[in-house]
Every structure is written in C-alpha cells, then in structure tokens.
Structure 1
Amino acid sequence: MKTILFTLVIMLSACHQKPAQTGLPYFDTPDFKPIWIDKTTAGFQTLHTIPGFSFTDQDGKSITDKTVAHKIYVVNFFFTKCGSICPKMTDNMNKVAHAFINDQRVLMLSHSVTPALDNPSILKSYAKQKNIVNPNWHLLTGNKQQIYEIARKGYFAEDAVGYNKDFSQFLHTENFVLVDGHRHIRGVYNGTIDFEIENLVRHIKMLEQEVD
C-alpha cells in the first residue's frame, strides 16, 4: 500500500507541484514521507545518506560505497532458499537489469539476509539458475549484522516498523529501494508488483536526466 501511495504522490506532483517541486522526491525518514527540496537549499546538505559499506558479490568481488559512487542503484533483500516472495522479486529485478543492461550508470544490489548460507559460490549458482547476466547486478553476502543494519537504518528497507529491530530479528521485505548518485533515497517500490517495476524503470530514467 505504501508503494502505491508513493506512485500516486509522484503522479499528482507532476500536475500540482510548483516547478521547484517536480520530479522525484527525497526520503529522509523510515516512514518514507516524501520531501521535495532544491539542491541549493541548506536543508539538502542534511538529507539522509546511505552510509559506507563493504560486501562481497557472487564473483567474489568486493562491492563498496565506492562502487556505487555517482551511480544510480536499486537495492533489495532476499535469500536463495526463499520460496515465497523472493522468486518474484528476482524475476522483477531481472526486468530492471535487462532494461539497463548496457547502461553503466545503473546498478542493482541484492543482499542476502542469510549470508552464512549464501556464500559467493551459492550466489553464483543462483545467478546462473535465474539467468542473471547483467554484470552490474551484484548478489551480495557478508557480515549479517552489517547487512541488517544498513537494510533497516540505511535503506529503511522495512519502513518504520523495522527501523529499531536488531539483526536477531529476521529481515523479510518486498521493498525495492531506489538510490541516486549521491546515495540519497529517491523511491520505494513493491518488488512483487509488475506495474511498480514499470514505475521504477521510468523513475530511473528520470534520475538519469537530473543535473548534478
């Protein structure tokens, strides 16, 4: 429901907001309340920013905040043994990956929430099984506490409900989170709903038109 409301907010803003408030909003809090803010204002400097990170992908490569510097990227959380929402999420992320397969400006980061089980070798097999061919789509494993911390505190992956949970409480969310080249959150989407993925692709293209 939250992602559907977000879509409606974006549509309405295009019709009713002042010129300075058009385009994609920023999200500064885990309740995903949208903020339209001009990059020249003082408040822009204090917007929530994704913290630094370091994880390992399916090819054994280190993927860090430097990897995504000045890139647009989409984040989600899954695990290879998941039989509920994860297969649909992976199929839908693959739609995003194919839409930008020749675009070096766009990355996808899928974090395993069971990193002790999902080592790089397992993730590599999963990537082959799911026909993941975009080299800019990284399936990530690493320290569980760090993954859960950045999921809940960094990406607000479970909205406000999960913000204060710790890594002992299982992380399970259908949210895809869109992050811009300055590591600001610009959108949240239900990764199991096809039209939400269409909106995500459209919004990525909108971000590519933004002037830094």
Structure 2
Amino acid sequence: MKNGLIICFLVASVWGCSKKSEKRMNPEIELPYYSDAIFTPEWISPEDTKYDSIHTIADFSFVDQNGDMITNQTFENKIYVTNFFFTLCPNVCPRMTKNLKKIQKEFASDESVKILSHTVMPWVDSVGRLAEYASLNDIDVSQWSLVTGDKKYLYQMARESYFADEGFGKTVTTDEDFLHTENIILVDTKRRIRGIYNGTLPLEMKRMIEDIYTLKKE
C-alpha cells in the first residue's frame, strides 16, 4: 500500500511539474488553444511561429428561433459557448440546457458573452419548434441563439470546426447519419477554441465561468 502511494505521488508530481513547465513557457497565456479533434491543449504566444496557424471556426450562416439569420458576424468580437442538441432528446440535452442556463444567468447583462446551440436534427427542429423550446426553457433570445439549417452544413460545421462527433447518436432510432456530443465548446473573440467541457456536469459550468472571465482579461 505504501509503495502504491509513493508511485501515485511520483506520477502526480511529474505530471504537475510537466503542466506547470508547459504553462511557464508562455506565462501571459492562461488558457490553451485547441486545434485538433483530440483536443490537445497548446499554450501559444503571439510571438510563436505556430500562432498564425491556430485552428479557427469557419464562417457560418444559420437561422435562429426568431427566424433571423445568425452568422459569424453576429459573434464578432464576442466570447461565446456553443453546443449541439435536439429538442426531442430525452436526457443529455435537457441537462446541457439546464447547465447552460447557469452561463446565461452569470452573464445576463454582459453583451460580450453569448451562447450558440445548433440542432443536429434540423428535419424536426424548425424555427417554430426552436422558438417553443426557447420559451419552455426560459431562454433569453437576446443572449442565446438556437439555430437550424441544412443538415449537411450543420454537420460539417460540427465536425470540422468544433470537432464535435462522439457517436451519442447511436442510441437514436434512425437510419441516417446522426451526430451528438456532450461537449460544450468555449470560443474566444478571434473564433479560436479555448475550452472543452462536459455539458452534463454542473461543476464543469463553474470551470467554464472562470475561464470566460479569464478570456475577458486577454
């Protein structure tokens, strides 16, 4: 038992030192950047040669619960958190929506922070249905956009820009390609991914709130 504790202590020490050393290389960067589908964190300073190749979210255009066009310009110079859901989802999505409401409440009077939720079932989630979902869940439409659009385009954005594809859709009865993920993604004012969180866990929302405040200081 004692040997096991020693091994655990050594592993923890080495890991902790490694992470601290990594961050000390760029002390002005508190949150990492993510540029790949396995979400490898990288602390990259503006002087680094890799800085200009940091992954960014592609241009997009969708329709929200009000019937308005929502594009990347809507979120220009904004910090935003984004996820993928569908209104018929029986368990994961309701928990994610409930947790995202913590973000809505925390930044209710802050125009620099927004929420963007994409449906992964656009053949069901019409503008009217999204509006009903927003009303039932007390979603502030001025702060939180629920969007729909062409399935192929939505899925392309999900997979290529947000790296969102974990196979949760296998539990859904459909013969079509289906995408769903528990991840909530934090995007900075320059459309770069800065955080990934399990949207079903309230504790992760506390971490996200802290990270948003960190981003606001950059």
TM-score (norm 2): 0.84
Structure 1 match to 2:117: 110
CA deviations over 1:100-143 (Å, ceiling 9, x no partner): 11111011000000112111111111001011125110000011
Identity between Structure 1 and Structure 2 (%): 41
Picking from 202, 209, 212, the partner of 2:210 is 202
Per-residue deviation, residues 133-182 of structure 1 (Å, max 9, x unmatched): 251100000111111111011001126x89xxxxx521111100000010
In structure 1, the gaps of 5 or more residues are 1-8, 163-167
Which runs of at least 4 in structure 1 moved beyond 2 Å after TM superposition?
Answer: 12-17
Bigger-Rg structure (1/2)? 2
Question: Which residue of the partner structure matches residue 47 of structure 1?
Answer: 54
In structure 1, distance between residues paired with 2:71 and 2:20: 34
Letter in 1 for 2:146: L
Q: Distance in 2 between matches of 1:171 and 1:192?
A: 17
Report the counterpart of residue 172 of structure 1 in structure 2.
180
Would the aligned equivalents of 1:98 and 1:134 in 2 still touch at CA under 8 Å?
no
Secondary structure, aligned partner of 1:171: coil
Q: In structure 1, the residue corresponding to 2:153 is in which secondary structure?
A: helix
One-letter amino acid of the counterpart of residue 99, structure 1:
E
User: 1:131 — aligned with what?
Assistant: 138
Q: CA RMSD in A?
A: 2.1
Distance, in Å, in 2 between the alignment partners of 1:14 and 1:181 is 26
Contact 2:63 2:147 in 1 (8 A): yes
Question: How do 1:1-212 and structure 2 match up within 5 A?
Answer: 13=19, 17-18=23-24, 20-21=26-27, 22-133=29-140, 135-158=142-165, 168-210=176-218
**Is the 8 Å Cα contact of residues 23 and 43 (structure 2) preserved in structure 1?**
no
- Superposed displacement of residue 15, structure 1: 8.3
Stretch deviating more after TM superposition (84-93 or 34-43): 34-43
Distance 1:96 1:15, change over 3 A: farther
Letter matched to residue 198 of structure 1: K
* One-letter amino acid of the counterpart of residue 20, structure 1: N
Aligned residues: 195
Q: Deviations over 1:48-96 (max 9, x none)?
A: 1100000010011111011111110001000001102000000001111
Q: Is there any run of 5+ residues in structure 2 with no aligned partner, and where?
A: 1-14, 169-175
C-alpha displacement at 1:13, in angstroms? 4.7
Partners of 1:19 and 1:29 in 2: CA distance = 21
Query: 2:22–2:43: 8 Å Cα contact kept in structure 1?
Result: no
Equivalent AA in structure 2 for residue 132 of structure 1: I
TM-score in terms of structure 1 length:
0.86
Q: In the aligned structure 1, how far is the partner of 2:59 from the partner of 2:98?
A: 28
